[in-house]
């Protein structure tokens, strides 16, 4: 893939070439037209001089005064090609130069008609010719005389050629300088991108943990988001480390109990009981720490999830598992509500709360999910409320059930970490967990998950 620098350079080159090309062609054309007009003006002047120095006698013969020939010669020099002719082309007077270089001037002009043309001769020369139809203002004289002058275009063409060389040379030089300047400006302009790439390289190498340099406004959103992502990953990594440490630490106690039981001389039955208890304990610890480690927390670049869609999937799964109970579920959710957090975390909270509700209910469960009331405009998020018509959780056990591995009813087999996991996730999201008596008479648990936007 082409680099940004090269892309801009190619684009700028195309634009500059096009611009200077068009400008050059325009200037060239303008100069040519102007030069040609000046030539025509000059030829016109020569015709008027010729007219001023001539007259007609009574027999319609052209009379040129003595001084006129000198004036003409002085004006035009040996390069002047001039003739006076009748309208049918019969020559009445011509300059000496026409003897060696005959030219076919225009004929059949109207009175006061001016005609400019370029005449090419058999020997390859090109002449600019101007012919003018003159009629004397005399009622007796009806003839139209054609006054014609011509000039060799060689010097004219030399001038044009010289101008073109200078023009294109200058434009080319300026264009090249502009390209170089453009390239330099681009490198300077893209320097922040290179700086960001250098910093990311340093992060990869472990030299630093986030982007430190200041960046222009256009990049700030990107670098701020990158930093937020890096911070989130670092937090997650930190949580993994802590969880691993907590796991190792927590396992030591049941391992110690097992070791002690093996070293003591106790009955097989007692040993079996102790082993079962401690294995159960270690299982709960492992399960809980795994869940803690897996909690993602809020991430800046996460796509929002549909609360209704995911909740319905969980409800459908639980209805399958608890089909025997035929639980009646009332599910209310604000239409279009989205959760701007991790899908796995949302499912853990809703799944664990609903699982407990389905397990404990008689046959009714309510699930209500709504946005957090915007008292504080900065914080947004959702509130998940789960109620059941079961026996509820006694007040003295409310604190216990939110601790790791302890359940209100020890008689039910299985893992007892559901609410502890919910509490951990709620804390990661900066929300709150409230346990009380619900509207159905059983437990009512409200968990809020805050997602700052």
CA nearest 40: which of 125, 122, 156? 156
d(CA 438, CA 436): 6
Nearer to another protein, 67 or 326 (CB): 326
For 100, residues 6+ apart whose C-beta sits below 8 A from its C-beta are none
CA nearest 408: which of 420, 422, 394? 394
Q: How far is the CB of 411 from another protein (least distance, A)?
A: 14
Q: How far is the CB of 348 from another protein (least distance, A)?
A: 5
CA nearest 431: which of 392, 380, 396, 395? 380
CB atoms within 10 A of CB 186: 17
Nearer to another protein, 202 or 302 (CB): 302
Q: How far is the CB of 449 from another protein (least distance, A)?
A: 15
Nearer to another protein, 182 or 283 (CB): 283
Q: Exposure of 177 by Cβ count < 10 A (0-12 exposed, 13-18 middle, 19+ buried)?
A: exposed
The number of residues making up the chain comes to: 453
Nearer to another protein, 109 or 318 (CB): 318
Q: How far is the CB of 317 from another protein (least distance, A)?
A: 4
Q: How far is the CB of 182 from another protein (least distance, A)?
A: 53
DSSP character at residue 414: S
Q: Which secondary structure element, helix H or strand E, spans residue 94, and what is its range? A: strand 91-94
Nearer to another protein, 250 or 352 (CB): 352
179: its two tokens = 């390209």
Nearer to another protein, 171 or 350 (CB): 350
d(CA 131, CA 104): 11
Nearer to another protein, 418 or 431 (CB): 418
CA nearest 295: which of 424, 384, 445, 434? 424
Q: Report helix, strand or coil for 80.
A: coil
Name the site residues for another protein (rule: CB under 8 A): 279, 283, 287, 290-291, 294, 313-314, 316-317, 320-321, 323-324, 326, 343-344, 347-348, 350-352, 413-415
Q: How far is the CB of 190 from another protein (least distance, A)?
A: 42
d(CA 448, CA 291): 18
Cα angle vertex 342, ends 235, 437, to 5°? 105
DSSP character at residue 369: E
Nearer to another protein, 164 or 415 (CB): 415
Q: How far is the CB of 278 from another protein (least distance, A)?
A: 13
d(CA 20, CA 2): 25
Nearer to another protein, 291 or 446 (CB): 291
d(CA 65, CA 70): 9
Q: How far is the CB of 298 from another protein (least distance, A)?
A: 17
Q: How far is the CB of 206 from another protein (least distance, A)?
A: 30
Q: How far is the CB of 344 from another protein (least distance, A)?
A: 5
Q: Exposure of 372 by Cβ count < 10 A (0-12 exposed, 13-18 middle, 19+ buried)?
A: middle
For 35, residues 6+ apart whose C-beta sits below 8 A from its C-beta are 156, 159, 160
Nearer to another protein, 379 or 415 (CB): 415
Nearer to another protein, 324 or 376 (CB): 324
Nearer to another protein, 344 or 394 (CB): 344
d(CA 283, CA 169): 85
- How far CA 264 is from CA of 91, 193, 267, 268, in Å, comes to 147, 68, 9, 11
226: its two tokens = 């990158």
Q: Report helix, strand or coil for 115.
A: strand
Q: How far is the CB of 351 from another protein (least distance, A)?
A: 3
Q: How far is the CB of 324 from another protein (least distance, A)?
A: 5
């Amino acid at each position: 893939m082409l680099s940004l620098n090269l892309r801009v350079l190619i684009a700028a080159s195309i634009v500059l070439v096009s611009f200077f090309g068009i400008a050059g062609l325009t200037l060239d054309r303008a100069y040519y037209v102007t030069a040609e007009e000046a030539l025509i003006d000059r030829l016109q002047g020569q015709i008027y001089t010729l007219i001023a120095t001539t007259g007609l006698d009574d027999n319609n013969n052209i009379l040129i005064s003595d001084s006129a020939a000198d004036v003409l010669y002085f004006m035009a020099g040996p390069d002047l090609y001039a003739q006076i002719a009748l309208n049918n082309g019969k020559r009445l007077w011509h300059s000496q130069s026409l003897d060696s270089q005959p030219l076919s001037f225009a004929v059949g002009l109207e009175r006061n008609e001016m005609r400019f043309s370029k005449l090419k001769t058999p020997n390859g020369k090109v002449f600019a010719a101007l012919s003018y139809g003159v009629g004397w203002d005399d009622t007796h004289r009806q003839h139209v005389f054609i006054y014609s002058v011509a000039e060799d275009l060689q010097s004219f063409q030399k001038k044009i050629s010289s101008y073109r060389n200078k023009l294109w040379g200058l434009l080319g030089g300026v264009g090249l300088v502009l390209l170089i300047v453009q390239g330099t400006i681009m490198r300077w302009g893209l320097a922040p991108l290179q700086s960001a790439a250098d910093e990311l390289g340093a992060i990869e190498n472990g030299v630093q943990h986030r982007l430190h340099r200041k960046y222009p406004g256009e990049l700030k959103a990107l670098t701020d988001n990158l930093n937020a992502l890096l911070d989130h990953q670092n937090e997650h990594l930190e949580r993994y480390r802590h969880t691993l440490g907590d796991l190792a630490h927590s396992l030591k106690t049941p391992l110690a109990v097992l070791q002690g039981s093996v070293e003591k001389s106790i009955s097989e039955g007692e040993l079996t009981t102790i082993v079962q208890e401690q294995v159960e304990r270690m299982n709960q610890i492992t399960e809980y720490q795994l869940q803690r480690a897996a909690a993602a927390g809020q991430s800046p670049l996460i796509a929002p999830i549909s609360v209704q869609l995911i909740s319905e999937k969980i409800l459908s799964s639980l209805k399958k598992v608890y089909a025997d109970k035929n639980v009646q579920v009332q599910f209310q959710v604000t239409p279009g509500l989205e959760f701007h957090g991790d899908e796995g975390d949302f499912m853990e909270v809703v799944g664990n709360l609903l699982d407990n509700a389905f397990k404990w209910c008689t046959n009714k469960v309510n699930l209500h999910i709504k946005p957090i009331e915007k008292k504080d405009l900065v914080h947004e998020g959702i509130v998940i409320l789960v109620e059941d018509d079961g026996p509820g959780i006694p007040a003295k056990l409310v604190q216990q059930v939110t601790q790791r591995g302890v359940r209100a009813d020890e008689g039910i087999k299985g893992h007892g970490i559901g609410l502890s996991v919910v509490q951990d996730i709620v804390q990661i999201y900066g929300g709150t967990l409230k346990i009380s008596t619900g509207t159905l008479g059983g437990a009512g648990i409200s968990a809020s998950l805050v997602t700052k936007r």
